[in-house]
Structure 1
Amino acid sequence: MSVSSVSNSPVLDELTIKDKIKDEPKSGELGQKAFLKLMITQMENQDPLSPQENTEFIAQLAQFSSVEALDSMNNKFDNLTENFVANQALQASSLVGRSVAVSSEIAQLDAGDIVAASVDVPASTNSVTVKIYAESGELLDQADLGAQGAGEMVARWNGEKLEVNGTVLEWNSSTEGGHPPGIYRMEFEASIDGEPTQLNAALSANVNSVTVGKDGVLTLNLAGIGPVKMSEVKQFN
């Protein structure tokens, strides 16, 4: 199982972007000092015969206080969101080097490792078939896994032996000694009500790295598969 260095992960780079790029002061904004200066200037230049009434003055102060409070609240909310994304990203980075299961027909077989498949069997069937293809599309092996009940069927393949629900099957691989490490495609098919039906399978894949998008979406970069959103992971192994 290959492990990528967390220190080189784009996660940490993404998390420091906002520290590197600070917002430029916006000259068009009316700050607290400018507002007070404008208010004092207004009072100094008001008509002595028709001065500003206290109620109008208090209303202006109240309006400014409301705007200032909302601005402060927005800043705190932004900081809270940034901290949440940062914590989530750091937790996700701990997945680097581990295995997860995602809906896919593609899997990478590493030396001394296995490919695990969680297959959804929608109804009891007398026959489930697995076909294993090379990355080039060539059919390498196929086997009848026998009758299966409705529910989850778990298969494990190490390039040579195939285990289904804890039982190692007696089958002959097309390659003596098993298939070498590489990218493979696995398809599962069942006979449901007499009709051949493609089954949904979640295959295992190693997490090479984790990235965080500008929208805060976490993406796992999986060996042999590529980028997959965190929300699409079916199982953490």
Structure 2
Amino acid sequence: MIDATTYLNNVTRNDKPKTPSKELGKDAFLKLFVTQLKNQDPVNPMKEKEQLAQLAQFSSLERLTNISKAMEGLAKTVNTVIGLTSTGYIGKTVMAKGFSVSKKGAETTSASINLPVACKSVYVDVFDKKGALVRSVEMGSKNAGKFDFKWDGKDKDGKAADDGQYRIVVRAEAPSGKKVLANIEVSGKVKAINTAGGQHVLELEDGRKVLLSNVTRVVA
């Protein structure tokens, strides 16, 4: 007696994996089913309920396969549409979840920091691309909510840091002494849209990259 699961396991067990063909799968299953009927024991023939159960199982498997393929096609279509519509971000300044800021000359990009609770002390640490601490900026006490941060581009000795990209980390502490995790959004002007690994990536004018899915708002 065969069933759809056994059939699929048998036809897909090869030395080299092959993509199963939908049409061949149908024909092969039906041929096996008919062969089974022809060669069944006359004294102990397959019961009608067993036949119907096999056909129903195959029919259900076929429907699930069709639904799965339809969903894959829909997902690809939606992803394509999102990619086309996201070109509207080009030339716009966006805020997105992230940790990177950039410096060019006397200009640095800004960030928005959101605290879930009031904090007695808040520090924003600035690290270079090698992971070295460049500057630790004391922000004092802060209420719950958002506040803007803009690094002045100077290191801990008061000298101008090199141009490039930097990473910021927020150290916040509640009155109870408990560490507080802050949410950070960074800003930048969109230059281009790229697709990598099925995800849409916004390329900013300063070279930074943010996921389209991480964009929280368009500033201008």
TM-score, structure 1 normalization:
0.50
Which aligned runs of 4 or more in structure 1 are off by greater than 4 angstroms?
106-111, 113-124, 148-157, 181-186, 200-203
| TM-aligned CA deviation for residue 68 of structure 1 | 0.8
| Aligned twin of 1:210 | 194
| Aligned twin of 1:14 | none
Q: Judging changes above 3 Å, is the alpha-carbon distance between structure 1 residues 57 and 203 closer, same or farther for their aligned structure 2 residues? A: closer
Between the aligned partners of 2:52 and 2:113, the Cα distance in structure 1 is 69
- Are 1:57 and 2:51 an aligned pair? yes
Deviation per CA, 1:191-219, whole angstroms, max 9, x where unpaired? Answer: xx9xxxxxx87553122333242xx4333
| TM-aligned CA deviation for residue 99 of structure 1 | 1.5
Determine which of 32, 55, 58 is the counterpart of 1:38. Answer: 32
Between the aligned partners of 2:166 and 2:58, the Cα distance in structure 1 is 64
| TM-aligned CA deviation for residue 116 of structure 1 | 5.5
Matches within 5 A, 1:139-150: none
Please provide the CA RMSD for this pair: 5.2
Contact persistence 1:92–1:210 (CA under 8 A)? no
Aligned length, in residue pairs: 190
| Aligned twin of 2:204 | 222
Deviation per CA, 1:91-119, whole angstroms, max 9, x where unpaired? Answer: 32321232213555x655789x9956556
Between the aligned partners of 1:155 and 1:211, the Cα distance in structure 2 is 30
Q: Which amino acid aligns with 2:40?
A: Q
Q: Which amino acid aligns with 2:68?
A: N
Q: Which amino acid aligns with 2:189?
A: N
Q: Which amino acid aligns with 2:35?
A: T
Contact persistence 1:116–1:204 (CA under 8 A)? yes
Between the aligned partners of 2:45 and 2:144, the Cα distance in structure 1 is 84
| TM-aligned CA deviation for residue 42 of structure 1 | 1.2
- Structure number with greater CO (CA < 8 Å, separation at least 6) is 1
| TM-aligned CA deviation for residue 155 of structure 1 | 8.3
| Aligned twin of 1:170 | none
**What residue ranges of structure 1 are gaps of 5+ in the alignment?**
1-23, 125-134, 140-147, 158-180, 187-192, 194-199
| Aligned twin of 1:131 | none
Between the aligned partners of 1:150 and 1:68, the Cα distance in structure 2 is 54
| TM-aligned CA deviation for residue 32 of structure 1 | 1.0
Contact persistence 2:101–2:110 (CA under 8 A)? no
Q: The residue matched to 1:218 in structure 2 has which SS?
A: strand
Contact persistence 2:114–2:147 (CA under 8 A)? yes
TM-score, structure 2 normalization:
0.53
Q: Which amino acid aligns with 1:78?
A: E
